[in-house]
């Protein structure tokens, strides 16, 4: 009870403190006379090369980069020679050859906040026009940069169902983004995930109810933009009903336009009404809106201009999804793709795999009359207005000395913890064993069940859950299983399971971009089902906690207790163990349907257990 009271006091402090931390840049800035004058004067003084450059946003890694390095020279050339309008911030990457014997070698790393802000400042100083820097901070800046605040995936917000939390998450994201030198965030995702086999959206979506998605997205938009960052709705006109990952191919949504209007476009309309400053277009084909072959929405004028710009009356920035994704690169070279994107009506061509080629091709298309100059002027004017709206015409540099006071703070982390706590969903508890009805001295078998063991470089699964489980039940045997576990090893687990007083399985299944995977191997599913029978004979507690893809639950209908977190890594693991131990209440509601298992809105309620009954740390 004392812990719960402390948590409540901390949450009240968060609600009071976050607005004071935000850098308030409201929508009024767009109509400021001095800002308008700056926009028009800057546009009038631009050469064609400078206008073309404003349409391009290449990327940089937020890792330490010396000014005296080839990497910095290449970035500086993009600013000086190609006049790019801004950069998109990524984390880091470890180069690896294709001949490694160890396929589990991680390649993705997180960047560093100070390195990101320092590099952004140096590039800003080189640019004639302020740079509008962007980032894919879907779960907060910690999604790309180590030490910054990381929120749960959007579906966890859907399970929590709290608009205020979505708003505060937007405010926190904006506050940290501005401290890092980022003014445009590629969030929130407003795709309606109504396809259980969607390999790329999944938990990135708030859920499958369009109105709920729109409501939470709108709250997050308001928080972000009142915090001084332009929010981006993605992926237009809706990437939720696909079964192909656009990072590896071109999805096709063969739906009538009126069906898309009734479902996919609903949250876009709501969030546009909330004032979203940008929309990102998707690499997917919609043949009943644009019948031209090999035409993703990104490159489609009927989608980008006729539907979004004209019919939906959206006058903010329209940004392509990354032009380095296979949904485009398999069809067109970088120059032609960039021209088609601009012709379609996009204002910003994001992350072209060959920026100089894109620059040359767009310029040639303008000079050749394939793109009218008035369209370019309109796009550049929107880009300059966006820069003025976030105050870049007055100040473009960030204070590196103040960054540690603004990024990754405990106040910000408390917001993320509250989202995670409220999202935990107890889908079923047939034997009434949650919170876990096992005494502190019980022998507990913990199974860390992975989809596959590779690419866990950012955070190893169960690294938080195991030690916290051991704090509460010291007699824990922990075993890791994956698709590489042999049949004999799985049989050994079956045979030894009856020796334990309780079994907990943490099931980790990712839907990572370009992985092409989203399932748990059948031998692992069979083991988890069999353990239900083993524990039923003694009425022993048996709980499966699902991390990541919640749709895996439909294959575990025999498991007596299922708990969903909708996320991976440390925060989700901490929230799960607190719920399992009875240290925190449970009240999340399923924001999607689990076909054949549970309808949307399902979820059991549990109160926190009295400290005298809890097997918590001593």
Active site residue 555: no
Active site residue 321: yes
Length of the chain, in residues: 618
Which residues make beta-bridge pairs with 356? none
C-alpha closest to that of 371 among 403, 404, 395, 349:
349
Distance CA 343, CA 353 (A): 19
Question: Is 492:447 a contact under the CB 8 Å cutoff?
Answer: no
C-alpha distances in Å from residue 65, one per residue of 1, 123, 400, 430:
48, 11, 15, 55
Distance CA 130, CA 268 (A): 29
Return all residues near 95 (Cβ < 8 A) that are at least 6 apart. 107
C-alpha closest to that of 408 among 228, 226, 146:
146
Distance linking the first and last C-alpha atoms of the chain: 15
Neighbours of 403 (CB within 10 A): 20
Residue from 241, 321, 429, 451 carrying the catalytic annotation: 321
Distance CA 29, CA 96 (A): 46
Return all residues near 102 (Cβ < 8 A) that are at least 6 apart. none
Distance CA 487, CA 507 (A): 18
Distance CA 288, CA 286 (A): 6
C-alpha distances in Å from residue 172, one per residue of 15, 121, 405, 557, 570:
11, 21, 13, 38, 19
Neighbours of 363 (CB within 10 A): 18
Distance CA 164, CA 139 (A): 16
Question: Is 384:43 a contact under the CB 8 Å cutoff?
Answer: yes
Question: Is 368:339 a contact under the CB 8 Å cutoff?
Answer: no
DSSP string spanning 297-329? GGG-HIIIIIIIIIIS---SEEEEPPTTSHHHH
C-alpha closest to that of 274 among 360, 375, 188:
188
DSSP string spanning 470-495? HHH-S-EEEEEE-TT--HHHHHHHHH
Residue from 247, 283, 393, 433 carrying the catalytic annotation: 247
Distance CA 200, CA 241 (A): 10
- Catalytic (active-site) positions: 247, 321
């Amino acid at each position: 009870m004392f812990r719960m009271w402390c948590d409540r006091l901390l949450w009240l402090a968060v609600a009071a403190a976050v607005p004071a931390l935000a850098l308030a840049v409201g929508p009024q800035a767009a109509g400021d006379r001095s800002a308008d004058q700056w926009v028009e004067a800057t546009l009038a003084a631009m050469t064609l090369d400078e206008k073309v450059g404003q349409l391009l946003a290449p990327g940089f890694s937020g890792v330490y980069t010396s000014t005296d390095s080839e990497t910095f020279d290449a970035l500086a050339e993009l600013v000086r020679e190609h006049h790019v309008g801004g950069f998109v911030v990524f984390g880091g990457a470890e180069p690896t050859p294709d001949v490694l014997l160890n396929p589990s070698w991680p390649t993705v790393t997180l960047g560093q906040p100070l390195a990101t802000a320092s590099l952004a400042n140096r590039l800003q100083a080189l640019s004639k026009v302020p740079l509008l820097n962007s980032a894919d901070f879907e779960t907060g800046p910690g999604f790309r940069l180590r030490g910054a605040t990381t929120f749960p995936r959007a579906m966890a917000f859907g399970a929590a169902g709290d608009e205020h939390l979505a708003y505060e998450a937007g405010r926190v994201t904006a506050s940290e983004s501005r401290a890092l030198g980022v003014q445009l965030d590629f969030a929130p995702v407003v795709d309606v995930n109504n396809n259980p086999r969607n390999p790329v959206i999944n938990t990135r979506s708030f859920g499958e109810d369009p109105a709920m998605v729109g409501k939470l997205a709108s709250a997050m938009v308001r928080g972000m933009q009142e915090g001084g960052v332009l929010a981006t709705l993605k992926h237009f006109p809706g990437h939720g009903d696909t079964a192909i990952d656009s990072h590896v191919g071109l999805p096709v949504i063969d739906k009538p336009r009126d069906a898309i209007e009734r479902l996919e476009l609903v949250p876009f309309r709501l969030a546009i009404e909330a004032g979203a400053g940008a929309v990102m277009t998707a690499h997917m084909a919609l043949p009943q809106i644009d019948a031209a072959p090999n035409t993703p929405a990104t490159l489609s004028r009927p989608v980008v201009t006729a539907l979004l710009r004209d019919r939906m009356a959206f006058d903010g920035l329209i940004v392509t999804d990354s032009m380095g994704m296979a949904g485009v690169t398999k069809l067109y070279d970088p120059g032609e793709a960039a021209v088609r994107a601009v012709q379609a009506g996009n204002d910003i061509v994001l992350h072209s795999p060959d920026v100089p080629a894109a620059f040359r091709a767009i310029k040639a298309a303008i000079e050749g009359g394939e793109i009218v100059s008035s369209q370019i002027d309109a796009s550049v004017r929107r880009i300059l207005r966006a820069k003025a709206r976030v105050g870049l015409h007055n100040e473009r540099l960030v204070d590196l000395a103040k960054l540690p006071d603004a990024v990754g703070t405990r106040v910000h982390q408390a917001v993320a913890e509250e989202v995670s706590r409220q999202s935990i969903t107890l889908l079923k508890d047939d034997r009434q064993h949650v919170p876990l009805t096992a005494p502190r001295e019980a022998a507990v078998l913990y199974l860390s069940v992975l989809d596959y063991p590779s690419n866990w470089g950012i955070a190893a699964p169960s690294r938080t859950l195991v030690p916290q489980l051991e704090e509460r039940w010291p007699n824990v045997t922990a075993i890791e299983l994956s698709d590489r576990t042999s049949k004999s090893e799985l049989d050994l687990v079956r045979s030894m399971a009856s020796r334990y007083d309780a079994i907990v399985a943490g099931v980790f299944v990712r839907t990572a971009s370009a992985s092409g995977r989203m399932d748990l191997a059948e031998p692992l599913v069979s083991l988890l089902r069999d353990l239900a029978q083993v524990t039923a004979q003694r009425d022993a507690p048996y709980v499966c906690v699902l991390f990541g893809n919640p749709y895996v639950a439909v294959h575990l209908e025999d498991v007596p207790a299922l708990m969903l977190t909708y996320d991976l890594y440390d925060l989700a693991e901490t929230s799960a163990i607190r719920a399992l131990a009875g240290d925190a209440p449970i009240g999340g509601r399923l924001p999607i349907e689990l076909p054949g298992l549970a309808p949307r809105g399902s979820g059991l309620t549990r109160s926190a257990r009295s400290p005298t009954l809890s097997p918590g740390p001593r």
